[in-house]
Structure 1
Amino acid sequence: MTTISPAEAPVSTSRDVEKDLFPVQPPTEVREGSKTESDDDSAHMQEGVKRVEAITTVWSNKSLWSTFALLWLVSFVSALLSSVDGSLSPYVTSSFSRHGLLAVINIAARVIGGVVTLSLGKIIDIRGRMEGFVGSLLLITVGMIMKATCRNVETYAAAQVFSWVGHVALGFVIDVFVADITTLKNRMFIFALNSTPNLATTFAGPRIAELFYQKVNFRWAFGAFAIILLGVSLPVVAILFYHERKAKKLGLLRPKSGRTPIQSILHYIIEFDLIGAIFVSAGFTLILLPFSLVNSASHSWKSASVIVMIVMGVVSLAAFAVWEKFFSRVKFFPFEFLKDRTFLGAVLAYFVVFMTTFIWDAYYSSYLQVVHGLSISIANYVLNAYSLTSYFTGPFIALYIRYTGHVKYPALVAIPIYLLGTALIIYFRVPGAQVGYLAMCQVFVGFGVGMINQMSQLITMASVRHQDVAVALAIYGLFGSVGSSVGYAVAGGIWTNLLPVKLHEFLPEDSKNMTAAIYGDITKQMEYPIGTPIRDAVIEAYGDVMRKMVIVGSALIPLTIICVIVWKNINVKKLETVEKRSRGNVF
């Protein structure tokens, strides 16, 4: 695989740029020429794309900037809810004596979340951005209500699927809508601004979670934030609804299809390829779950249930491939996008980053509380130094992109920084190490990951036309979700298979019968003061298992270099002359 130097980058004419940057063509015939011509051909645009372009045609600068501000507020509350939720998760699972299932619960949620965004990309292209936004809020609300009322770990696991899918979908719709109302060179700047709320929620979320846990209970936290999120989101829905109505009155949008409800249901089942979505979701979930559940099976890897899950997972993925090739009228996954090496490299880079991170990050909050005796809030401050650094540096990286247009080489520079931060954790994530060094490692990791993710997301969008941005971002999100699911599966496999063994090994002889109870509840792990034999045994077991997790994660990071090297050396600033066209009032 060769790297294209800046001097070799095809930037001489719009036709040359279009040919190099947009090799993926839709199945329908389009006019030969630049990206601008293709994008403007409304005959090949789906209804949702036409709707958003009609909205940007009829709204004013005031509406544009009001929408930016409201989306920032929605991002703030969504990030705060996510931070509170993540801080409370170990205690929710521990309330059912199932702390070890923390990673297991997230595997299905992450896979389904990634698959749903691909369907959602089709929904918002076919129906509209507003419908996707409202649907996302509905999923989050259902998930939060289920968490607030759950009485067993199974209900909580189902609630996690609803809330996580809704959270991912909401962020996805916001990203797509921002892409609709911005040009390429300004896009990452707005994306970065929408991430700045995390600078506050990094500190506020864990503290709010701690106060709810100590003063009330975790159930009230979920219920309260569901109401707050709905309250700040409704003005966005109102703006979209108002301007869509205005566009219809001006004749910029076609009337309804005239289909009956039954016809509409059948139409959208075909359009969203529901059968393909079920096959691919079931396949990834059934293959990944056994890594975390195997320790509870009566015969380990020889258990019939584990074997059946893996076999059914492989069969489901094979069935998905057969269905897509021979039977599906509308393809669920646009495989032709992956023929572009830049697009493929970008989504694989996102996959590897998420996979390697979640291998060592899945139980990190619990580690900080049990091994170092930190409170819920302080432990998550250290944990969130990762995201804090990423969000703080985001706007500066976006400004760099805006004024230089460079994408590939900054991503290559970021990979060694990411590897350095993760490798240092191997040395410092041991009992007795100072917490400040762990926070330092998180800063290095956050900077490297933040830059890689920004560059890979932008180059994903730069590789397709405007009308394909939603699907491109959905594929990007799918690879990230599957990557995090793989990371959780590896982490869960290491944790559930090794920690009980190490606890039994290190616990005093008269306490070995307490292994199962201590393993399943984080509050029992912290019940004994640091310095007592039982707590020291738990700390030693944590240190041994966590060290193995970080080593595995670090060993896989170099794969990211291969993913980035294959990118074409796209300069998005020069691409701006090709991309700029009449898309209404956009920034």
Structure 2
Amino acid sequence: MTLQHPAHLVPEATTQDNMHFADATPNTTVFDPEKNNISATDAIQVVDKDAGQDSDGGSSFKQDGVKKVEAVTKTWNRKTLFLMFVLFYIVAVVDMLIVGTQANLDAYVTSEFSRHGLLGTVSIVSSLLGGCSSLTIAKIIDVWGRIEGFLCMMGLVAIGMLMKALCQNVETYAAAHTFYWVGHLGLLYVIDVMLADMTSLRNRMLILTLNGTPTIASSFAGPALAQLFYEESHFRWAFGAFGIILVGVCLPAALVMFLYQRKAYQAGAIEKKPSGRTWWQSIYYYVVQFDLLGIILVSGGFALILLPFSLAPLQAKGWADPGMIVMIIMGVLSLILFVAWERWWAPVQFMPFEYLKDRTIIGACLVYGLMFISIFIWDTYYFSYLQVVHRQSITHAGYILNSFSLMSSFISPFIGILISFTGDYKWTGLAGVPFMALGTGLLIHFRQPHHHVGLLVMCQLLNGIGSALFATCAQLGVMAAVPHQQIATAIALWGMFGGIGASIGVAVAGALWNNIIPQKLLELLPETAKDRFAEIYGDMVLQMSFQDGDPIRDAIVGAYADVQRRMAIAGACFMPAIFLCVFIWRNVNVVKLEKERGTQTKGTVF
């Protein structure tokens, strides 16, 4: 699921196949950094061939990365446009295969270290940092460039996969998963931004959702690959092999972008000059341009608020530990300081404060966050439930889980086509509410041991339809509200709420799991097995080893059934809030908006 697009633009000539081209007006003007309140010696100056007509329809201030990508889109042609889409699609295929494979191995990795209960804790930190890091990545690609951000994210994924392949304890695995997850989300995020650079507002969601269709293949291939690696080799080989493959498919896309950026330099569209800054002045310049303090405040704030939900069960005093309360208080204060900093003091805001008050942006971000809270509450331990209670194999459990993303990826392009014809995203988004409310609500009844797994697949499909409608429409709503300079940051903000929502969902799921499962197991286990309580609780493979009719298995199944029902109830409670957040969006027709203002960039785009 992705996001994107703004629009305040100047009309341009449009070809019959929806490809837009920059006019060839010869007058030039050089961007003057002093007039935009930034360093007097900008490292890169870009020639704007449409002086006086900013294609954003907003401020003429654009950071170097934005100016470079706009210059690059003026140098390529239709063939290059389609080549870039194909290369990004191949990267997406491999990335989704990695996700589909490793997601079905995570429970076995934590179980190998006898720490199955930490499955949620491992995920919460990576989800939180993955969401919040998008703000930093947004500044990297806005200030330095899209290619630089793309290569950085590829490197993080490679490091994370290598660490996973070599880890010897659950702590190292948690660190490795954090590197991997930040890189994975960042890689998809940079691709989304680059696809946004390549598309008009009207057709953007169609292209973005098409790039998400590899999930359809990975939904089937991922679980099968996971089982093959687990049975025929080892999970370490899965991580090592895919790390190498991903680097191999990323480099061609980066090379093409680099060659066309070089072509833009040679054509004079990008003019490189020495910055004239000292080493310390450069540090200060980038600290300001990245809005480093703002990013630290918002990321640290959410981290301090969410981590206690996973850490408290591990403390001797639980929530009575004063450290847990202090962390939450510090987190709230950090977020308050972030708002004050961005409103009154930040020299370069990560996003102009006027957009942070926009009701469509607020509503779309909240929808994405609340959707992931709801989903991850009941999804975090779903794989374990399917294997332990319903005795599904790795492959079949993965198929059941992936039916959610399968449906979401399948239906999303059709939603993109609908939007490209009607231009409506608000009422289309509202149509997702009944699907997800029904899918989540039915889970309360059907996620019990005596119900057939086919009914669980039905719930997954309903939730997949609802999430596709929410994600596609919310993403477009965010993008339609900002100019091109703010595209990367708007997408990052939207993605951050998704990451935070996932973290909250995992935190709630981890809190429910770590508090309910131990108590229920102690209550239900026969007296002769109570001394094995910790061993059974920490190892999913051991849990699956008991046969039907064994009192120990009955106790395990009973504990799972109890906690899963509570998780489904908690997830369903967020449906009314999601409806209200969609309802407050502005009812903007993006087809009419683009006819009035033109496409967002003046290069060759879809």
Residue 444 of structure 2 is aligned with which of 426, 446, 449? 426
Flag the 1:468–1:277 CA change in 2: closer, same or farther, 3 A: closer
Task: List, as ranges, runs of 4+ consecutive aligned residues in structure 1 with deviation greater than 6 Å.
Answer: none
1:414-446: CA deviation from partner (whole Å, max 9, x where unpaired): 101110011011110001210000001000000
C-alpha root-mean-square deviation of aligned residues, in Å?
2.1
Q: Secondary structure at the match of 1:464?
A: coil
TM-score (norm 1): 0.91
1:107–1:285 contact (8 Å) kept in structure 2: no
1:42–1:50 contact (8 Å) kept in structure 2: no
Residue 268 of structure 1 is aligned with which of 273, 286, 305? 286
Flag the 1:135–1:394 CA change in 2: closer, same or farther, 3 A: same
Residue 91 of structure 1 is aligned with which of 97, 105, 108? 108
2:343–2:353 contact (8 Å) kept in structure 1: no
Query: In the alignment, what sits opposite 1:8?
Result: none
Aligned counterparts of 1:406 and 1:327: Cα–Cα separation in 2 = 37
Alignment-mate amino acid for residue 188 of structure 2 = G
Query: In the alignment, what sits opposite 2:77?
Result: 60
TM-score (norm 2): 0.89
Flag the 1:467–1:308 CA change in 2: closer, same or farther, 3 A: closer
What aligned pairs does 1:328-407 form with structure 2 within 5 A after superposition? 328-332=346-350, 334-407=352-425
Query: Are 1:416 and 2:434 counterparts?
Result: yes
Query: Are 1:586 and 2:597 counterparts?
Result: no
Residue 263 of structure 2 is aligned with which of 243, 246, 270? 246
Shift of 1:320: 3.9
Give the helix-richer structure, 1 or 2: 1
Alignment-mate amino acid for residue 559 of structure 2 = A
1:74–1:233 contact (8 Å) kept in structure 2: yes
Shift of 1:306: 2.7
Flag the 1:335–1:483 CA change in 2: closer, same or farther, 3 A: farther
Aligned counterparts of 1:42 and 1:318: Cα–Cα separation in 2 = 27
Alignment-mate amino acid for residue 99 of structure 1 = H
Query: In the alignment, what sits opposite 1:143?
Result: 160
Query: In the alignment, what sits opposite 2:552?
Result: 534
Aligned counterparts of 1:62 and 1:410: Cα–Cα separation in 2 = 33
Aligned counterparts of 2:312 and 2:531: Cα–Cα separation in 1 = 21
1:286–1:310 contact (8 Å) kept in structure 2: yes
Flag the 1:260–1:151 CA change in 2: closer, same or farther, 3 A: farther
Flag the 1:167–1:61 CA change in 2: closer, same or farther, 3 A: same
1:36–1:579 contact (8 Å) kept in structure 2: no
Query: Are 1:544 and 2:579 counterparts?
Result: no
Aligned counterparts of 1:91 and 1:234: Cα–Cα separation in 2 = 32
Alignment-mate amino acid for residue 558 of structure 1 = P
2:63–2:143 contact (8 Å) kept in structure 1: yes
Aligned counterparts of 2:201 and 2:426: Cα–Cα separation in 1 = 15
Aligned counterparts of 1:416 and 1:440: Cα–Cα separation in 2 = 14
Query: In the alignment, what sits opposite 1:7?
Result: none
Aligned counterparts of 1:563 and 1:326: Cα–Cα separation in 2 = 27
Flag the 1:147–1:568 CA change in 2: closer, same or farther, 3 A: same
Aligned counterparts of 2:299 and 2:227: Cα–Cα separation in 1 = 34
Q: Secondary structure at the match of 1:58?
A: coil
Q: Secondary structure at the match of 2:270?
A: coil
Residue 595 of structure 2 is aligned with which of 573, 577, 581? 577
Alignment-mate amino acid for residue 425 of structure 1 = L
1:313-348: CA deviation from partner (whole Å, max 9, x where unpaired): 344434545555565433346443122111111111
User: Which of 317-326 and 158-167 deviates more?
Assistant: 317-326
Residue 124 of structure 2 is aligned with which of 102, 107, 124? 107
Flag the 1:509–1:256 CA change in 2: closer, same or farther, 3 A: farther
1:373–1:530 contact (8 Å) kept in structure 2: no
Q: Secondary structure at the match of 1:87?
A: coil
Aligned counterparts of 2:58 and 2:384: Cα–Cα separation in 1 = 54
What aligned pairs does 1:83-482 form with structure 2 within 5 A after superposition? 83-258=100-275, 259-321=277-339, 323-324=341-342, 328-332=346-350, 334-482=352-500
Query: In the alignment, what sits opposite 1:71?
Result: 88
Aligned counterparts of 2:595 and 2:336: Cα–Cα separation in 1 = 43
Aligned counterparts of 2:299 and 2:62: Cα–Cα separation in 1 = 28
Gaps of at least 5 residues in structure 2 are 1-7, 12-34, 38-51
Q: Secondary structure at the match of 2:202?
A: helix
User: Which of 285-294 and 144-153 deviates more?
Assistant: 285-294
Flag the 1:36–1:77 CA change in 2: closer, same or farther, 3 A: farther
Q: Secondary structure at the match of 2:389?
A: helix
Query: In the alignment, what sits opposite 1:17?
Result: none
Aligned counterparts of 2:338 and 2:416: Cα–Cα separation in 1 = 38
Q: Secondary structure at the match of 2:160?
A: helix
Shift of 1:112: 1.3
Aligned counterparts of 1:309 and 1:42: Cα–Cα separation in 2 = 39
Aligned counterparts of 1:330 and 1:379: Cα–Cα separation in 2 = 48
Shift of 1:42: 8.7
Q: Secondary structure at the match of 1:578?
A: helix
Alignment-mate amino acid for residue 493 of structure 1 = A
Alignment-mate amino acid for residue 95 of structure 1 = E
Alignment-mate amino acid for residue 283 of structure 2 = I
Flag the 1:579–1:297 CA change in 2: closer, same or farther, 3 A: same
1:117–1:169 contact (8 Å) kept in structure 2: yes
Shift of 1:270: 2.5
- Aligned pair count reads 559
Residue 496 of structure 1 is aligned with which of 486, 495, 514? 514
Aligned counterparts of 1:63 and 1:149: Cα–Cα separation in 2 = 39
2:73–2:605 contact (8 Å) kept in structure 1: yes
Query: Are 1:45 and 2:45 counterparts?
Result: no
Query: In the alignment, what sits opposite 2:41?
Result: none
What aligned pairs does 1:515-530 form with structure 2 within 5 A after superposition? 515-530=533-548
Aligned counterparts of 1:316 and 1:95: Cα–Cα separation in 2 = 38
Aligned counterparts of 2:358 and 2:341: Cα–Cα separation in 1 = 23
Flag the 1:152–1:194 CA change in 2: closer, same or farther, 3 A: same
1:264-306: CA deviation from partner (whole Å, max 9, x where unpaired): 3332222223333233323222221222222221112112443
Q: Secondary structure at the match of 1:443?
A: helix
2:55–2:602 contact (8 Å) kept in structure 1: no
